[in-house]
Structure 1
Amino acid sequence: MADSIWISLITAGVTAFFLLGVPIFLVIGLWVVGVSLVIDFTLANVGVTLFQGLSFFGLLALPLFILTGDLINAAGIAKRLSDFSYSTLSWIRGGMGMSTLGACGLFAAISGSNAGTTATIGSIMQPEMVKNGYDERFAAATAASGGTVGIIIPPSIIFIVYGFMMNLSISDLFIAGMLPGAMMVIAMMVACYLVARKNGWGQVQPFKMGVSATLARKAYLGFATIGVVIYGIYSGKFSPTEAAAITVGFTMIAGLLITREISLKKLPTIMLRSGQIAGMLAPLIAISVVMQQLLSVLGAGQALSELLSGIDNYYLTLGTCMLIILLAGMILESLPVTIILAPILAPIAQQAGVDPIHFSVIFLVGAAIGFVTPPFGLNLYVASSITGISYVRLVKYVIPYFIALMACWLAICLIPSLSLFLVNL
C-alpha cells in the first residue's frame, strides 16, 4: 500500500514538472528512477534497458529515413512534391494546408517514419503556409498531424515490428494500411478546409492543368523514390532497413548529380541536422522502453488481461481496446505501446471475433493518433523543434485534426473491409 502511495506521488510530481515545461525525456526518466527506487528495482537495469531498447535492427531504419527526408529536402525533391500537391489544390480555400497533408502522405510512402515526415514536410511547408496567410501555430499543427500517417502508409517500421511479434504477414499488413492511411489524409484535409474557411486563412488561386502537369514532371524524382521503396520491399529484394539505406544513396546521388542542389560541402550540415533529430527521438524511444518494462513489473499487463477477459461482447471489447490504446499512446511512443500491449490485446480481440489483420490496423492507427495527443505527442515536439513554437501553443490547434482522426479511427474499427478489402483482393 505504501508503495502505491509513493508511486502516485511520484506520478503527480513528474506531471507537475511536465506542466512547468520540463522536457518529456527528463519527466519519464525521473518517473522511471523514482519508481525503481520505490519497488527496489536495481538502477543498473535502467542503463542496460536503455541500451537494449535501441539495439533493435529495425530501428536502424529510423536515422536512415530521417536522413532520406533531409536529403530529399536539400535536393529540392520534397519541394517539388509539395509544389505539385499545392497546384492540384490551390483553387480551394485552405488548399496549401491540404497540400501539406497530401505531401505528408506522399512522403510517408518514402520515409516510413512519422517524425521524419513531420520534420521534412513541416520545415518546407510551415513557412510557406505562414506566408500564405495561415496562423503559424495552425501551420505547425498541420505538419505534426500529417506526420501521423508516416507509420500507416507503407512502408512502415512499426508494421514490421507488429507483424514479427504477432506472426502475421508483413506484406498483408502493408496492404491493409493503404486505404486507412489514405482515409486519414482525406479526413485531415476536410478538417483543414473547414478551419481555413472559418478563419479566412489561405489565398485561393485558379487551377491550371498545364501548370499542374509541368510540376508533376518536375516531381518525377520523388515519384521514382517512392517506386524504388515500394518495389524493393514488396518484391522482397530488400528489407525496410535496406530500403532506407538505398533511398539515402538514391536521393544523395539525385541531389548531387541531377538536381545539383546538394554540394559536397553541404553534406556534413545535412547529416548533422539528421543526427540532431535522431538524437532527440532515440532517447525518448529508449526511456519509453524502460517505462514499459516497469509497467510490466508493476503488473499493468496482467491487470489489463484480467479486465478484458470478462468482456464477451464484440463491440465492447473493441471499444475497450481502443480506449486502452489511446490512453497508452498519450504517454508512450508507438514502439513500446506495441511491445507491451499488442501481445495482450490482440489475442483477446481475436477471441472476440476480430480479424487479426483488421485489429493490427486498428491498433496502429490508434498508436499513430497518440503522436498528436498530449502529454507525449511526439510529432508535436518535432514540429515545435523545427518551428521554434512552444509545445503548449500547438496543442489547441491540433484539436480539429484529432477529431478528424478519431472519426476516421472509428470508421476503420466499425468497417473491417476498409482494412481487409485490398488484402482479400
Structure 2
Amino acid sequence: MSDSLWITLISLGATGVFLLGVPVLLVIGIWVIGMSLLLGLPLDNLGSALSDVFTDGFALLAMPLFILTGDLINQSGIARRMSDFAYSCLGWLRGGLAMAAIGACGLFAAISGSNSATTATIGSMLHPEMKKGGYDERFSAATAAAGGTLGIIIPPSIIFIVYGFLMNLPISELFVAGIIPGLLMGLAMMAFCWVICSINGWGHLIRLQPSRVFKTAIGSWLGFFAIGIVLWGIYTGKFSPTEAAAVTVAFCVVVGFVSLPLHKMMGSPSEDRPPSERSYGEMLVVRGFSPIDIPKITLRSAQITGILAPLIAISVVMQQILSVMGAEDAIGGFVRSMGGYYPVLFTAMAIVFVTGMVLESLPTTIIMAPILAPIAASIGVDPIQFAVIFLVGASIGFITPPYGLNLYVAAGVTGVSYFRILRYIYPYILALVAVWILVALVPSLSTMLLPNR
C-alpha cells in the first residue's frame, strides 16, 4: 500500500479509538507511534521528548505548582469564601448566583491558572446552590463549564506558560496581556446569564447590602492576598512565573497550617452558614488543613500534572512528525494564500477554533502555535497580541463539542450528562466568540497594560 493510504488508515484508526472514549493522550500516542514506524523515525525520540520538555524548561515547572495552589486554596476553604464574596456583590441581580459562579471562576483562576480545576471546584460548590435557587440544572452545569474557560486566560495561566516556553516570549508579559481579555470574557458571560435568567425567571434575589459585601470581602482577604502576590511579583519583575508559583504554594501551605488550630479554637464553625450568621472573627479565619492532609492534596495535584505533562511531550513529537510530513508548509501556505491582514488573521483563528473542537488546548498550542505565530508576525500582528488571540480561541475549545474538556468535567462534578449540558452551552460560545473577535480587532486590549508598548 502507498504511504498516503497508510497515513489515512492510521489517522482513521486514531479517530476511531477517540470516538470510543480512549483518553486523548493514548489517541495521540497511537498516531505518533504508527506514523513513526511508517516514516522510519526512531521510537526513542518519544522517550527523549518526555524527558527533555521538562528538564530543559524551567518555566514549565510553574505548571505543577499552580495546579497545587488550586488544590490548596480549595482544601483550605479560601475558594468558598471567594464564592461568597462574588454572590454578595451580584446576588441582587436576576441570575446573580450564576453570575457569581462566573465571578468566582475568575477569582479562582487568578490563583490556580487551571481551567479544569476551576470548573471542578466552582461547579462542585455552586451547582447544588443553584439547583436550590431554582436554576435549571443543565444551565447550572453549563455555567460552571463556561466559567472554567477563564482559568487559562486570567493570569496566572498554565497554557500561557507553555505558549511562552514554545515561542520564546516573556511569560510575565503574556500574563499581563491576558488580564483585560479575561475580564471581558467574564463580563460577556455574565451578560448572557442576566439575559437567560431574566427570560426564565431563575434565581432568588438578595438585597445588595454593603455590610454583607464588606464582611465577605474580609472573609476573602487571604484569596485577594494570594492574587496580589502573583500579580505584584510578576508585574514588577520581583518573581519569575515559576518563582511566583512557588511563593504562592508556600503562602497557601502556611495559611492552611495556621488556620486549622484557629478554626478549632472557634469551635470549628460550619463554612456552609450564610455570612450574616458568622462573626467577623470567623470570617477572618478559614478552616485550613493539617500536615497529614498534604500527601492527599499533593497526590491529587500530581495526578493532574501526570495527565498534562505527558500530553505536552507527546504533542511535541506529534508536531515534529507533522513537520516532517510537510503539514506546517501546507497549513502555512493555505493561511498565507488568504491575502491581506484580516483574511489571514481570521483564517488562523478559524483553524484554532476547529482544532480546539477535537483537541485539548495543550496539543492545539504545541502543534499550531509554531505554524501560525510566524505567519501572524509576518503580516504585522504583535506577537503578544497574537498569543492572546490564539489562547482565547483555545480556551473556547474547552466548551466546544465534540471534545470540550470542561463539559466532561462539569458533567462529572454535577451529575448532569454531557449531552444535556449542550443545550445551554452554545450561547456562552457565542458570547466568547464575540469577545475573541473584539480582541483580534482591537490590539490595545492585549497590550495597553504592558510597559513600553
What TM-score do you get using the length of structure 1 for normalisation? Answer: 0.90
- Counterpart of 1:42 in structure 2 is 42
- Counterpart of 1:20 in structure 2 is 20
Shift of 1:387: 4.0
Q: How does 1:223-242 map to 2 (within 5 A)?
A: 223-242=224-243
Q: Confirm or deny that 1:31 pairs with 2:58.
A: no
The 1:12/1:201 distance shift into structure 2, 3 A limit, reads farther
Gaps of 5+ in 1: none
2 CA distance for matches of 1:41 and 1:16?
A: 24
| Structure with bigger gyration radius | 2
The SS at the match of 1:12 is: helix
- Counterpart of 2:70 in structure 1 is 69
Residue 152 of structure 2 contacts residue 160 of structure 2 at CA under 8 Å; is this kept in 1?
yes
Gaps of 5+ in 2: 260-285
Residue 53 of structure 1 contacts residue 290 of structure 1 at CA under 8 Å; is this kept in 2?
no
Q: Confirm or deny that 1:282 pairs with 2:283.
A: no
The 1:58/1:136 distance shift into structure 2, 3 A limit, reads farther
2 CA distance for matches of 1:297 and 1:141?
A: 40
Residue 86 of structure 1 contacts residue 99 of structure 1 at CA under 8 Å; is this kept in 2?
yes
Residue 157 of structure 1 contacts residue 240 of structure 1 at CA under 8 Å; is this kept in 2?
no
Shift of 1:59: 2.7
> 1:311-369: per-residue Cα shift (whole Å, max 9, x none)?
33111011111112222323334344333333332232233232333222212211222
- Counterpart of 2:394 in structure 1 is 367
Please say which of residues 376-385 and 217-226 is displaced more in the overlay. Answer: 376-385
Shift of 1:263: 2.4
> 1:87-137: per-residue Cα shift (whole Å, max 9, x none)?
111122221111111111112221222233223323322333233333444
Shift of 1:77: 0.8
- Counterpart of 1:315 in structure 2 is 342
2 CA distance for matches of 1:282 and 1:169?
A: 21
- Counterpart of 1:182 in structure 2 is 183
Q: Confirm or deny that 1:420 pairs with 2:447.
A: yes
2 CA distance for matches of 1:191 and 1:324?
A: 26
2 CA distance for matches of 1:49 and 1:3?
A: 25
Aligned residues: 425
Shift of 1:145: 1.8
Residue 119 of structure 1 contacts residue 383 of structure 1 at CA under 8 Å; is this kept in 2?
yes
Please say which of residues 102-111 and 129-138 is displaced more in the overlay. Answer: 129-138
Residue 336 of structure 2 contacts residue 344 of structure 2 at CA under 8 Å; is this kept in 1?
no
Please say which of residues 129-138 and 70-79 is displaced more in the overlay. Answer: 129-138
Q: How does 1:341-380 map to 2 (within 5 A)?
A: 341-380=368-407
Letter in structure 2 aligned against 1:151 = I
2 CA distance for matches of 1:21 and 1:392?
A: 15
* Identical pairs, percent: 60
Please say which of residues 6-15 and 178-187 is displaced more in the overlay. Answer: 6-15
Residue 60 of structure 2 contacts residue 165 of structure 2 at CA under 8 Å; is this kept in 1?
no
1:261 to 268, 283, 288: 288
What TM-score do you get using the length of structure 2 for normalisation? Answer: 0.85
> 1:216-275: per-residue Cα shift (whole Å, max 9, x none)?
111111111111111222222222122222211211211221334312333333223223
1 CA distance for matches of 2:93 and 2:362?
A: 37
The SS at the match of 1:353 is: coil
Residue 152 of structure 1 contacts residue 177 of structure 1 at CA under 8 Å; is this kept in 2?
yes
The 1:71/1:312 distance shift into structure 2, 3 A limit, reads same
Q: How does 1:18-417 map to 2 (within 5 A)?
A: 18-55=18-55, 56-258=57-259, 259-387=286-414, 389-417=416-444
> 1:297-320: per-residue Cα shift (whole Å, max 9, x none)?
222111122223333311101111
The SS at the match of 1:65 is: helix
CA RMSD, Structure 1 to Structure 2 (Å): 2.6
The 1:67/1:172 distance shift into structure 2, 3 A limit, reads closer
Letter in structure 1 aligned against 2:433 = M
The 1:266/1:118 distance shift into structure 2, 3 A limit, reads same
Residue 176 of structure 2 contacts residue 235 of structure 2 at CA under 8 Å; is this kept in 1?
no
Please say which of residues 222-231 and 161-170 is displaced more in the overlay. Answer: 161-170
